[in-house]
């Protein structure tokens, strides 16, 4: 359930830009889970997981089962992280925010 539902067109557009602008699809080189990724700086990476990608990643599936229903905070798959770094290295992901996004 959403805690904030924007109604202003400007706010809706800001929300879209913040969550979706410049997302690049990256597939894990191991399990082929596909996520949306953007990097606003060298040290910051945003990853948008779909339910399908979460179900496909064996690392997240294993940790979710071990969490016994608790929320996985800052869940990160090391194989996906390596796939993202490879995408940065080959130029598929640009580093740096544009217009604040």
83-93 per-position pLDDT tens digit: 999 999 999 99
- pLDDT tens for residues 56-76? 999 988 888 888 888 877 678
Q: What is the distance between the alpha carbons of residues 83 and 89, in angstroms, rounded to a whole number?
A: 10
pLDDT surpassing 80 at residue 3: no
Note the pLDDT of residue 29.
94
- pLDDT tens for residues 40-56? 889 989 899 999 999 99
Please state the pTM of the whole predicted model: 0.77
Note the pLDDT of residue 100.
63
- How many CA atoms lie less than 13 Å away from 94 in the CB half-sphere? 7
| Number of CB atoms found within 10 A of residue 99's CB | 7
CB 74 within 8 A of CB 86: no
Partners of 47 in the β-ladder: 37
pLDDT surpassing 90 at residue 9: no
**Average pLDDT for 31-41:** 93
Helix (H, G, I), strand (E, B) or coil at 82: helix
């Amino acid at each position: 359930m959403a805690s904030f539902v924007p109604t202003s067109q400007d706010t809706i557009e800001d929300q879209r830009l913040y969550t979706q602008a410049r997302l690049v699809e990256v597939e894990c080189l191991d399990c082929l889970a596909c996520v949306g990724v953007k990097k606003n700086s060298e040290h910051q990476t945003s990853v948008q997981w779909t339910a399908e990608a979460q179900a496909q990643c064996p690392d997240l599936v294993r940790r979710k089962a071990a969490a016994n229903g608790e929320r996985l905070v800052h869940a990160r798959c090391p194989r996906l992280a390596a796939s993202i770094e490879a995408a940065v290295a080959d130029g598929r992901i640009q580093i740096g925010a544009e217009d604040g996004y």
